[in-house]
Amino acid sequence: MTGFPLTCLYLLTVALRIPRIKERWVAPLMRGPEWFFDVAVPPDFLEGPGAAILRNYRWRLFIPWAIEGLTLAVLWLTGHNSEVSIIVMISVITLFTRFNYYAARIATENRTRLFERPEASQPASNIVLSLEPRTLSAYTDWPVEAGIILALSAAAIWSVFLPATHDPAIERRLLSMMVIDVYAQAGLLLIKYGIIRSGGAAPVEHVEQYLAWRESLRRFTTGFCDLARLLFSLKPLLVISVIVGGSTLLAAQIGIFIVSMAAIGLGWRRRLAYLKVARRTRPAKFPLLPAALAARGPVGFWPSLPVLLLKTANGYALNLASTQVGIAGLYSAGFAGLWMWLIR
């Protein structure tokens, strides 16, 4: 993929990022003039110090774009503007964009708390815990699951009857790709299960509204995992179509493009539904646990606490003693062992 198709691919990824930039541009003001992100502020906050804080936050959103522009120029001038280089750059910049947003948000909220309304700075005095049982089947989108199974099954059957797979090297590469794809599917299912089983407290005031927001966030996040699994399951079909070539490749590219656009559209629709709920939900502040008061840095080791992320005075800290971290470690070790076995 070179020249015009590669340029179209890059421009498509840029176009898909524009709605997210627009969303993050207005994110601090999502709940009206009395809130700046999750911080309750005076009504005239934006007429005073809030204007400078908002400008600083917004220009930080474009740091990844500046880095991307410089990287693209370097790749072009050095002649390394290949398909692999562009895809790697897009993937890294996409991840960096998300981290940059969270870093900018945390820094902005910390500056805004200096102007927080006194009555809103106190944590909730009474909280409740949701005891409603949640199962994986209740959050399963069966049409998406059917699409994943159909895509992987079609790729497996196609690879068996593909004449080119009589080449041992090609056959082994296809097998490795299928195994890694299935393993990745299992990893995304583990993430989805963890999201479903995650608990959380809610303030007594506006408890129904707050729990509705948490459920909306849970549905949106698990739905995103499902769509990611669906798109990931299409990769073996695309690779096999590349081996076949000709009109088969063109048909596969068109089909996968249509499915991808439909998945992206569905994901964006679900995100808009979640944001609609988030806008009318009043943020809540909870009292910090004793371990959180003494927490320093972004990581910690608290065996007595079951949580993955511990709310601290300065944000969140990753609990390395949590069960989720242990499972993630075992999964990563399994992936490393699988990779070594496949490339031997």
Q: What confidence tens digit (pLDDT) does each residue in 20-57 have?
A: 888 889 889 888 888 888 888 888 888 888 999 999 99
By DSSP bridging, strand 299-300 and strand 39-40 are unpaired
Q: How far is CA 120 from CA 96, 116, 167, 173, in A?
A: 33, 7, 68, 58
pLDDT over 90 (residue 314):
no
Amino acid at position 274, single letter: Y
Pair type for strands 299-300 and 315-319: parallel
pLDDT band at 75 (very low <50, low <70, confident <90, very high): confident
Q: Considering Cα of 128, then 132, then 137, then 138, what sign does the dihedral take? A: negative
Alpha helices by DSSP H, listed for the chain, are 4-26, 49-60, 63-77, 83-112, 142-161, 168-197, 207-233, 235-244, 246-279, 290-293, 323-343
Q: Which run of H or E residues covers position 143?
A: helix 142-161
Work out the pLDDT band at 178, boundaries 50, 70, 90.
Answer: confident
Q: Distances in Å between the alpha carbon of 327 and those of 21, 37, 100, 333?
A: 34, 33, 27, 10
**Higher local confidence (pLDDT), 316 or 143:** 143
| Contact (Cβ atoms closer than 8 angstroms) between residue 218 and residue 196 | yes
Q: Which residues contact 243 (CB under 8 A, 6 or more apart)?
A: 162, 164, 170
pLDDT in tens, 217-270: 888 889 888 988 888 888 888 888 877 777 877 888 788 888 888 888 888 888
Residues 6 or more apart from 1 whose CB is under 8 A from it? 9, 83
Nearest CA among 197, 221, 202, 220 for reference residue 281: 202
Which H or E run contains 323?
Answer: helix 323-343
pLDDT tens-digit map of 138-175: 888 888 899 899 988 888 888 777 765 566 777 777 77
Instruction: Give me the pLDDT at residue 58, please.
Output: 93
- State yes or no: pLDDT of 97 exceeds 80: yes
Q: How confident is the model at residue 55, as a pLDDT?
A: 93
The rounded mean pLDDT for the chain is: 80
**What pLDDT does 292 receive?**
66
Determine the Cα–Cα distance for residues 86 and 75; give it in Å rounded to an integer: 8
**pLDDT surpassing 70 at residue 127:** no
CB atoms under 10 Å from CB of 271, counted, come to 16
Tokens of 270: 């679900």
Q: What is the pTM of this model?
A: 0.73
Total residue length of the chain: 344
Mean pLDDT along residues 80-107: 80
